[in-house]
Amino acid sequence: MKAHYGYKDGAGDFFIIIDTDNCIECADHPCIPACPESVLEIIEDDYEDMVCAVTMDHRKKIKYSCAPCKPDRDRPPLLCVTACPKNALEHLW
């Protein structure tokens, strides 16, 4: 499942896409401790799979939650994306 967490508003589209079919194969979920803002968590989805998701607290403010990792210039690779061994994480902005 490709789960799009985030929102769109007048400023743009701000979504993190998690490919849960890939995520499910990962036992350690290193993306979670890698995020300095604690944006990600493990949940049991509707089909009883343990997968990564964006926390409810961050879903409607993801643009601001992820801002520290996204400077205007010389943007480094995103810590969560780099940490994911299954290429299951993608940021849309």
Partner 1 sequence: MAEFWRWKEYNWHDENKDWRDGELITAGVDVGSVSSQAVIVVDGELYAYSNMRTGSSSPESANNSFNWAIEGTGLTLDDVGFVIGTGYGRVNVPFSHKAITEIACHARGANAMYGPSVRTVLDMGGQDCKVIRCDEKGKVTAFAMNDKCAAGTGRGMEVFADLLAIPIGEVGELSLDVEEEPPPVSSTCVVFAKSEATGLLREGWSKSKVLAAYCSAMAHRVVTLLEQVGVEEDFAITGGIAKNSGVVTRLEKELGIKALPFDTDTQIAGALGAALFAQNLLRKKLAKAGK
Binding region for partner 1 (CB under 8 A): 1-4, 7-10, 13, 15, 46-47, 60, 92
Q: Go through the chain and tell me how many residues it has.
A: 93
- Contact by Cβ (8 Å): 14, 65: no
CB of 24 to partner 1, least distance (A): 14
**C-beta of 79 vs 91, nearer to partner 1:** 91
Alpha-helical (H) ranges within the chain are: 20-23, 31-34, 56-59, 62-65, 79-83
CB of 45 to partner 1, least distance (A): 8
The residues near 34 (Cβ < 8 Å, ≥ 6 apart) are: 79, 80, 82, 83
**C-beta of 9 vs 25, nearer to partner 1:** 9
CB of 22 to partner 1, least distance (A): 13
